[in-house]
Amino acid sequence: MAQRKIIHVDCDCFYAAVEMRDDPSLSDVPLAVGGEGGRGVVTTCNYKARAFGVRSAMPGGEARRLCPGLVTVPPDMARYRAVSKQVMAILRELTDLVEPLSLDEAFLDVSDVSDHKGSATLMAQHLRQRVKDEVGITISAGVAPNKFLAKIASDWQKPDGLFVIRPEDVDGFVQDLKVEKLFGVGQVTAGKLHGLGVATCGDLQSIPTDVLLEKFGKQGYRLREMAYGRDDRDVVVSRIAKSVSVERTFSQDLPDKRACESVMASLVADLNLRLNRKAAHKPIHKLFIKIRYSDFSTHTLERVREQIREPAMEDYQPLLDELITDAERPVRLLGLGVRFRSDESPVMQLRLFD
């Protein structure tokens, strides 16, 4: 079996990061989202607040006692959901194998991705840069041969960090890994392990399996697997593809519309390759096109095209003609794609009047 490559990405202090992005004056103060009033609890805080010992799930009163200058803002979940959607869309452009764990973190299985020379490290760097440039927040990423290690790695150099555990590094890495870092090990389990003289995964490896099973039941087996850095869980995708697209950012801007037309053919070919791989038999509902100009303004246009099985250059040309109003304007990014008809939505539009 080929070596798996898993990336875990985690937005740094997510809700607080969105608040600081939208109001830069909040970046200079210890900030908590939530926790106002007598009974509220902190949902997230920035790193300035963490330096005082403020933590998520802490009552607001205790947080203010630790940090008298704490600034609190109420949570705005609709805004955080919108930003999360933006981040997840960037991840899904790299691979469909994305498993979100919450609004602010996800696993990606990039084992079969050939972009970025097939290097998961380069892919993680690319994702971090894009989220920083396009969303305006930072994400930390961990790269490893499995989910368990990738999640630990993403936390290793937070905030705004990237940590890579290569297959050949796994044995050395887990030797000194504290058992508190293991998935599902809270205070009680950690206390029991310390009672057995176990502080690290290296120590845990020396405990016989039957002892672990006797002390921890079924969890004992999982503890042993983690002690050796093993985890065979798959990245689970529960989402049905609603669209497929390809896009290209050019290191030098395309000078004009004619240059855009010259690269369209190869983009259409890439798109059909992806369609054949991912969604060969899904009925196409719309075509869309996306352009980012040299001043970073981004424009998209989509049109219903129900009869198309395999999109061709001439199918996209009318959209390009409609979208580009200034043929001499330099273009930084060009993308195109298809949206599928939702299986739940009616196939034909109902008439308003009979």
SS3 88: helix
What separation in angstroms does the CA of 117 have from each of 112, 123, 126? Answer: 11, 9, 12
- Choice among 105, 261, 322, 344 that is catalytic: 105
Measured over the CA atoms of residue 90, residue 91, residue 93 and residue 99, the dihedral's sign is negative
| Whole-number Å distance between alpha carbons of 89 and 131 | 10
Let me know if 105 is a catalytic residue.
yes
| Whole-number Å distance between alpha carbons of 38 and 26 | 22
Q: Which of 100, 149, 89, 83 is CA-nearest to residue 120?
A: 149
Query: Contact at 8 Å (CB) between 63 and 38?
Result: no
Residue type (1 letter), 347: V
| Whole-number Å distance between alpha carbons of 18 and 133 | 14
Token readout for 96 is: 């469909």
Catalytic residue annotation: 105
